[in-house]
Amino acid sequence: MASYYTRYESPVGEIVLLATEKALTGLWLPGQEPDEERLRKAQHQDRAPLLVQGCAWLDRYFCGLQPSPREIRLNPEGSPFRRQVWARLCRIPYGQVETYGQLARELAEENGGKMSAQAVGGAVGHNPISLIIPCHRVIGADGNLVGYNGGLQLKRRLLKYEGVDMRTLHDPKPRKKTMPCQ
């Protein structure tokens, strides 16, 4: 199946979008590494229908109109577990945050078993359609701003843009360096 890409100039910098004729399959923000292999196989095409829809979604987002991920057909490539996590991310409302632990508990309930926040974090970190699948809305316990592929500065900027109260959120504490035994 043919794939297409385009570049979108946003208030946070250049965004790269990738789509097939059926769905959006990739979106990378500044500071994130695009899937170069998939981009090499794609044609640059600004007018491909799903790319036009993706750019229109971004226009609405950056105008503060709070678009939903359900407004565009998405097809992120990943394991069934990752796809389940990404589908759950799409239910985090604009301007709100949830913790990795909250997501893990909810997914464990849905699956009838246990789930670790680290496993959820791994899936969140492999999200191939950033922003539309809102992985930036996931935080660590106690308001820690952790785990964003585009960097904490971009995560902070996106959350502020959405009107999240940043007073309760903070950068992760630096890990203490330990000296090896002598």
Residues known to be catalytic: 135
* Structure letter (DSSP) for residue 22: S
Distance in angstroms (rounded) separating the CA atoms of residues 83 and 100? 16
Q: Look-up: residue for tokens 């913790």? A: 99
Distance in angstroms (rounded) separating the CA atoms of residues 16 and 157? 18
Distance in angstroms (rounded) separating the CA atoms of residues 109 and 173? 30
Pairing of strands 13-20, 24-28: antiparallel
174 C-beta neighbours (distance < 10 Å), count:
6
Terminal C-alpha separation, the chain:
59
Tokens of 18: 């990738």
**Which residue blocks in 42-95 are alpha helix, DSSP H?**
49-62, 80-89
